[in-house]
Amino acid sequence: MKKKVILLLLCSLGITGFSYTLNYDNHLSKEIPTFSKVEKKSPEKIEEQQKETPNSSEESKVEQFDLSTLDKKEYSWYFAPNTPPEAEPYKEKYDLYYEGDNTKKEIYITFDCGYENGITPKILDVLKENNVNAAFFITSDYLKTSSDLVKRMVDEGHVVGNHTNKHPSMAEKAAQGREPAYKEIQELERKYEEALGKPMEKFFRPPMGKFSEASLALTKELGYKSIFWSNAYKDYDVNAQPAPEPSKALIKKRMKDGGILLLHAVSKTNSEILDDLIKEWKADGYEIKSLRDLPDYN
């Protein structure tokens, strides 16, 4: 009788340990479980834990907001100097940035990259010659057609940020629910990691500057800082490029301490004035910084 009891106990322990090992492998955990912590789980409990645990391709969330309580009205970010007043209450709550430290002579240069038209290599050359790190916000189409340039951006120390999968209004996506908004961000994350073998940095620029409280909240849930701007001009129309000298003068006039400059990498004018802008700002005592240097709100 005693032999039967011992045999049954050993079988029970073996089955329990096997169940835990399957669960451990499925979650790709780096913790090595000890025998003393083995717990027999029902199939229902294992399935529930798998749903709760993100797989290796998912990003951890900072916190989840109650979407039913958040404003879903769409706002548009304007060119400087008109900052939407609706954004002010959201800065610290949702990690929204349109400037850095406005008490210091520092500048942040950022580019939006929806497609490539042969201008970006010259922009990268100018940045490299001047030892300046900028930020490039890309879409999935840009990554697909210009992965060599994206790799160069990374290799030369620039931030490559998320400009969504298909460039929609994120306010509209957020109004549809959490998953449609997540998908726009996470699809590009996945493609970027497949192409470059590393995760994308957590900087996000909403397409067209369109946002809502809900879209900002969902962006923060995925661990991102939302990067807007305090200085921009109409540089994106490749068929109606503004003259270089007036454009340079306008950008310099609008630049404030801590300013974040938005440029489009398809602009021939930008490629012609960027070197002068950088040199003149440096001569005026400005430091051109990376988005990685942005001050945290918390």
Residues of the chain with pLDDT under 70: 1-62, 79-84, 298
Q: Are 250 and 275 in contact (CB under 8 A)?
A: no
- The single residue of 95, 112, 158, 167 carrying the catalytic annotation is 112
Spell out the domains of the chain, with CATH numbers in brackets: 2-52 (no CATH), 67-293 (3.20.20.370)
**CA distances from residue 216 to 71, 166, 171, 175, 211 in whole angstroms, order as listed:** 10, 18, 9, 12, 7
The pLDDT of residue 78 is: 81
Instruction: Give the number of residues written for the chain.
Output: 298
- The single residue of 25, 163, 264, 293 carrying the catalytic annotation is 264
The pLDDT of residue 85 is: 74
Find the DSSP H helices in the chain: 2-26, 43-52, 91-94, 120-129, 140-145, 147-155, 170-176, 178-196, 213-221, 244-254, 268-283
The pLDDT of residue 48 is: 37
> How large a percentage of the chain has pLDDT more than 90?
74
The pLDDT of residue 88 is: 84
Cα-to-chain-centroid distance, residue 115: 18
Assign residue 34 a region (left: φ > 0; alpha: ψ between -120 and 50; beta: otherwise). beta
112 tagged catalytic: yes
Structure-token pair, residue 111: 């580019």
Tell me the pLDDT tens digit for each residue of 254-273.
999 999 999 999 999 999 99
